[in-house]
Amino acid sequence: MVNEDISNLRKELDKSKKKFEAEEKLIEEKYKRRMKDEKAYFDERLTGTLRRLPLNSSPDEIKECNNQLGKEYIQNCNLIYANRIEESDMSNRDYLKTQALIYNRLGLATNNSSYFIEAVNRFEQVAELESNNPSKAGYVSDSKMLIRQMHEDAKDARKHYKEITGEELPRHHHKGKGLEGILAVLGILGGIILLPTNITGNVISDLTPQGTSFLGIGLICAGLIAAIFWFKGRKE
């Protein structure tokens, strides 16, 4: 009976992983469609706005129109990107929490300390993810309750590890992964704010390498790099 329970728990691990991978794929496809729709909407607005401009409009007036629409387009894209990070984080939290609970049950069923290591790792990751980027779907009290519960579960798993090995389980930190998504959004949005108003219908062109332009471009690059590390960290 015990062996059957262990086998079922391992199947649950595989099932939770496949479910998470499927959810990630759906999220990615969903936001690809949203970005594509946003681009189509931008092109439609730009074409319609330019057609409505008076025939005697000056080049500066046309350029200002392009700049404004281009800036709105980039802001909307970044809002979509921020929503994508938030939704992915929620999916990741649920996945890590499910796996932590299963690993904890495996440790109790087998008396194998390695399962408690995996459980503690995931309990603490969930707590740090929730602390760095609280779920907007619930209340603040719910978020605090989840963090407290994850710390308590990690503490219990550490206790079981010590009972088996006679040693304390070293503490690990995962803060970088939780912050990278936030840094990505803040960097890109901050860069857009600091860029000069020479964003055209082609989104960005003719940037002058002076003052806020340098800082704006630097923030956007930093945000993109943080985004790359955030996506890589989620696959580890």
Residue 183 domain flag? no
- Quick check: 120 and 153 in contact, CB under 8 A? no
pLDDT, residue 232, reads 54
pLDDT, residue 176, reads 46
Residue 43 domain flag? yes
Per-residue pLDDT, averaged over 142-146, amounts to 86
Structure pTM? 0.67
Residue 235 domain flag? no
Residue 63 domain flag? yes
pLDDT tens by residue, 169-220: 887 655 444 555 555 555 555 555 555 444 444 444 444 444 445 555 566 6
Per-residue confidence band for 142, with pLDDT thresholds at 50, 70 and 90: confident
- Quick check: 107 and 160 in contact, CB under 8 A? yes
pLDDT tens by residue, 53-88: 888 888 888 888 888 888 888 889 889 988 888 888
Nearest to 220 by CA among 192, 197, 196: 192
Residue 193 domain flag? no
**What is the distance between the alpha carbons of residues 99 and 88, in angstroms, rounded to a whole number?**
16
pLDDT, residue 183, reads 57
- Count the Cβ atoms, other than its own, within 10 Å of residue 167: 9
pLDDT at 156 over 60: yes
pLDDT at 41 over 60: yes
Residue 134 domain flag? yes
- Quick check: 69 and 45 in contact, CB under 8 A? yes
* Pick from 33-47, 66-80, 137-151: least confident: 137-151
Domain count, the chain: 1
**What is the distance between the alpha carbons of residues 38 and 79, in angstroms, rounded to a whole number?**
11
**What is the distance between the alpha carbons of residues 182 and 132, in angstroms, rounded to a whole number?**
8
What is the domain extent for residue 148?
A: 2-174
Residue 81 domain flag? yes
pLDDT, residue 54, reads 85
Residue 236 domain flag? no
* Residue with more model confidence, 53 or 225: 53
